[in-house]
Amino acid sequence: MKHPSRLNLKSPLVLIFIFFIHYAAHAQEVEKTDSNVQELADKLANPVANLISVPLQNNISYGIGPFNGSRYTVNVQPVIPFKLSENLNLITRYIVPVVDQRDITGESTHEFGLSDATITAFFAPKSEKIIWGAGPAILAPIATNKFLGTEKLGVGPSVLIMHQAKGLSAGFIANQIWSVAGNENREDVNQFYTQIFLSHSYKSGASLGVNAEITQNWAANTTLISVNPSIGAVTKLGNQVVQFALMPLIPIVGPSQVRPDWGLRAVVAFVFPH
């Protein structure tokens, strides 16, 4: 009998989980000279907030495909805003995945390296009620292994619409990407992605939320949907403001060859003055 594959990792998710539990239970107060922690938690829930942050999103999934594979992905996701005018910001978001996977492409196989990067830019006018932003999305073929990327350059539109009140954030972010160049022997990219989210923050900087992630691969005619409840906390490590978040990844829809049995996500986001 084939045993479930295991990733050869130095327990990064466990370390983040320990940090999260410690600081959620014994959260240090952000100094009064800093912005209100609940306000900061709300800003971090807003994908187009005028805020510099560097989230490290750790994802681990088990039970993938016919060989019961496993995949660990660290998404390095810096968010860098630019002020274009008094009423218009340009929010740039970068996702650079580092992937370690086993038994995905075959039994006893192992791939490690960069996957393709996704770069989005939102032109976001200032708004107090309905927050929105729109701009281009770019798929950059930087993968270091042919099994970890598409070998295609892709472009398309991205959009965000959300409502935010004190302590409450709800909305969605979406993009559609088509390949426009790259390896002609590889399948074209025609993919839609959206994340629908709802979160509630508290005066302590803690937050509870849930999101649904939907990926529609039009070329392969496959749909992946997961529902992910989350718990988070804003605190400080020394002088560095950080946010921790932890969530199970619960697959709802997806073909058996790509859908995992279960997964877990742990995020630590470093926040910088702007």
What confidence score (pLDDT) does residue 258 get? 86
What does pLDDT average to over the chain? 89
pTM (2 d.p.)? 0.87
Reduced to 3 states (helix: H, G, I; strand: E, B; else coil), residue 180 is strand
Looking only at Cα atoms, what is the longest distance across the chain? 64
pLDDT tens across 139-184, in order?
Answer: 999 999 999 999 999 999 999 999 999 899 999 999 999 999 999 9
Calpha distance 42→63 (Å, rounded): 35
pLDDT digits (tens, 9 = 90+) for 126-143: 887 799 999 999 999 999
In this prediction, residue 30 carries a pLDDT of 47
Looking at residue 33, what is its pLDDT? 36
Distance of CA 18 to the CA centre of its chain: 21
Residues whose CB falls within 8 Å of the CB of residue 127, separated by 6 or more in sequence, listed in order: none
What lies within 8 Å, CB to CB, of 81 at 6+ separation is 49, 50, 51, 52, 89, 90, 91, 92, 274
- Taking CA atoms, 233 is separated from 58, 172, 181, 220, in Å, by 16, 21, 42, 38
Tell me the CB-side half-sphere exposure of residue 189, using CA atoms within 13 A: 27
Determine the straight-line distance between the first and last CA of the chain, rounded to whole angstroms: 55
Burial of 221 from C-beta contacts in 10 A (0-12 / 13-18 / 19+): exposed
Pairing of strands 88-102, 79-85: antiparallel
CA distances from 90 to 44, 82, 86 (A): 16, 5, 12
Fold of 12-272: Porin (2.40.160)
10 — pLDDT class (breaks 50, 70, 90) = very low
pLDDT band at residue 236, thresholds of 50, 70 and 90? Answer: confident
Across-strand partners of 54? 270
